Amino acid sequence: MKERLRGRPEDAGSVAGVSPGSGVPVARPGRTLDGPSGERGTRASAEGAVRPTIKAVAAAAGVSTAAVSQAVNGTGRISEATRRRVLDAAAELGWSPSASATALRRARTRTIALVVRRPTDVLGADPHFSELITGLEGELAPRGYGLLLHLVADMTQESALYERLVAEGRIDGAVLTDARADDPRPQLLRDLGLPAVLLGAPDPASAVPGVGLGQQGAGVREAVAHLLELGHRRLAYVAGPADLMHTRLRLAAFEEALAEAGLRPVAVRHTDFTEEAAVAVTEELLALPDRPTALVFPNDSMAVCGIGTAQRGGLRVPGEVSVVGYDNLPLGRWLHPRLTTVDQQVQRVGAAAARTLLVRCGENVPPPVLDGRPRLVVRESTGPVPSAP
């Protein structure tokens, strides 16, 4: 069976960025100066003297290390009173950035950070991020930029990591993933003076542009329309974490598309994207008295698990249950049956994000042109609704 693409491409653009300022406190005579990257409040010098660090200054001033960096460099939007308090604390402790650390901050590192809030096992099992990295690297590497990948457990760790990387002068920019409705990262990176790009809808209150993934609902709507055309009326939706912006957009589109047809979901289940969650939720949904005839998953990896779970339970796909994935990753073409999925052009989104960020970093590169609208790729994992026994 040939694949069928539904939907029309649309274009997305980019936004220019900002650069940091300057200004440092003066150290007291007799002190050996230390850089901003210390892990403890003080650090011993070669002569045995205790040297203050940026964390000691932050503690003394009652602010974060990011605020210290902003006060010292004249960046961000901290108040003059806070800036003065930080500089006074730095002078009292005898701290200022070392010449080498200052040079590092002002030098171009040609390194871009990609921080992902995923456990290693989840990241390893989800080809989405390998596709994204391929797109990013395809634009960064030819221009002499490297990608620094970090895995963190939560938003707090991610924010702290940006503060440290900026204080250490290790990155020129950052690619933000998994946008949230109340996302604190765009404002943080703006305050830090770090160019960034957000995968998803842009935050109107920040200087961080969004690239791709901004029409999440369109792909889900096409999937629902396709299933309705096949006669399905009992649909269930497997979603990601409820605090993620793309989860909210896709779920809203799913419910709205069904409501327009006079229907409601049989069930909606939020998961953490793990394979174990995919298996467990599929078993639960297929055991419901009013069993759904179609399942829509938030990514292809979970959809693959859903197909396997249904087949192990004795159900034919798509003869007795249809399955739709999301991402159009290569693995979906090699299944039996091949996976019907929403193509959000992950590699092209990565490439567009890289170009947008390079422009914000001052590079002369062509602006990105991206087909922003996800499209449904129809294969063999969806079929007509099963006849009543």
Mean pLDDT of the chain: 81
The verdict on 146 and 243 lying in the same domain is no
Kindly state whether residue 366 falls inside one of the protein's structural domains.
no
The verdict on 341 and 233 lying in the same domain is yes
Contacts of residue 242, defined as CB under 8 A and 6 or more positions apart, other chains included, come to 248, 270
Residue 9: is its pLDDT beyond 60?
Answer: no
How much is the pLDDT for 201? 63
Residue 6: is its pLDDT beyond 80?
Answer: no
Other Cβ atoms within 10 Å of 161 Cβ, number: 15
pTM for this one? 0.73
How much is the pLDDT for 369? 72
The CATH number covering residue 64 comes to 1.10.260.40
Q: Most confidently modeled of 35-44, 207-216, 233-242?
A: 233-242
Kindly state whether residue 18 falls inside one of the protein's structural domains.
no
The verdict on 198 and 287 lying in the same domain is no
Q: How far apart are CA 194 and CA 310, in angstroms?
A: 47
Of residues 67 and 14, more confidently modeled: 67
How much is the pLDDT for 48? 47
Of residues 268 and 344, more confidently modeled: 268
Q: How far apart are CA 175 and CA 206, in angstroms?
A: 15
Kindly state whether residue 243 falls inside one of the protein's structural domains.
yes
Q: How confident is the model at residue 294 (pLDDT cuts 50, 70, 90)?
A: very high
Dihedral angle, C-alpha 148, 145, 199, 159, nearest 10 °: 40
For the chain, how many structural domains are there in total?
3
How much is the pLDDT for 3? 57
Contact 224, 242 (CB under 8 A): no
The verdict on 352 and 207 lying in the same domain is yes
HEC string of the chain? CCCEEECCCCCCCCCCCCCCCCCCCCCCCCCCCCCCCCCCCEEECCCCCEEECHHHHHHHHCCCHHHHHHHHHCCCCCCHHHHHHHHHHHHHHCCCCCHHHHHHHHCCCCEEEEEECCCHHHHHHCHHHHHHHHHHHHHHHHHCCEEEEEECCCHHHHHHHHHHHHHCCCCCEEEECCCECCCCHHHHHHHHCCCEEEECCCCCCCCCCEECCCCHHHHHHHHHHHHHHCCCCCEEEEECCCCEHHHHHHHHHHHHHHHHCCCCCCEEEECCCCHHHHHHHHHHHHCCCCCCCEEECCCHHHHHHHHHHHHHCCCCCCCCCEEEEECCCHHHHHCCCCCEEEECCHHHHHHHHHHHHHHHCCCCCCCCCCCCCCEEEECCCCCCCCCCC
Q: How far apart are CA 353 and CA 345, in angstroms?
A: 12
Kindly state whether residue 106 falls inside one of the protein's structural domains.
no
Contacts of residue 182, defined as CB under 8 A and 6 or more positions apart, other chains included, come to none
How much is the average pLDDT of 28-36? 33
User: Which of 10-14, 170-174, 286-290 has the weakest average pLDDT?
Assistant: 10-14
pLDDT tens sequence across 247-256: 999 999 999 9
How much is the pLDDT for 216? 78
Q: How confident is the model at residue 73 (pLDDT cuts 50, 70, 90)?
A: low
How much is the pLDDT for 97? 62
Instruction: Please tell me the total number of residues recorded for the chain in this structure.
Output: 389
Q: How confident is the model at residue 38 (pLDDT cuts 50, 70, 90)?
A: very low
The verdict on 224 and 279 lying in the same domain is yes
Q: Most confidently modeled of 78-82, 101-105, 156-160?
A: 156-160
Kindly state whether residue 35 falls inside one of the protein's structural domains.
no
How much is the pLDDT for 197? 93
How much is the pLDDT for 261? 98
The verdict on 322 and 272 lying in the same domain is yes
User: Which of 9-13, 170-174, 185-189, 274-278 has the weakest average pLDDT?
Assistant: 9-13
Kindly state whether residue 257 falls inside one of the protein's structural domains.
yes
The verdict on 224 and 335 lying in the same domain is yes
Query: Which domain does 198 fall in, by range?
Result: 111-213+347-360
The CATH number covering residue 315 comes to 3.40.50.2300
Structure tokens at 347: 């590699």
User: Which of 74-78, 174-178, 335-339, 384-388 has the weakest average pLDDT?
Assistant: 74-78
Structure tokens at 246: 């793309």
How much is the pLDDT for 133? 94
Contacts of residue 85, defined as CB under 8 A and 6 or more positions apart, other chains included, come to 61, 62, 63
The verdict on 197 and 228 lying in the same domain is no
The verdict on 335 and 219 lying in the same domain is yes
The verdict on 236 and 200 lying in the same domain is no
The verdict on 292 and 315 lying in the same domain is yes
Helices 80-93 and 65-73 cross at an angle (nearest 10°) of 100
Kindly state whether residue 103 falls inside one of the protein's structural domains.
no
pLDDT tens sequence across 113-146: 999 988 777 777 778 888 999 999 999 999 999 9
How much is the pLDDT for 229? 98
pLDDT tens sequence across 303-321: 999 999 999 999 999 999 9
How much is the average pLDDT of 196-203? 77
User: Which of 43-47, 116-120, 145-149, 363-367 has the weakest average pLDDT?
Assistant: 43-47
The verdict on 209 and 234 lying in the same domain is no
Kindly state whether residue 46 falls inside one of the protein's structural domains.
yes
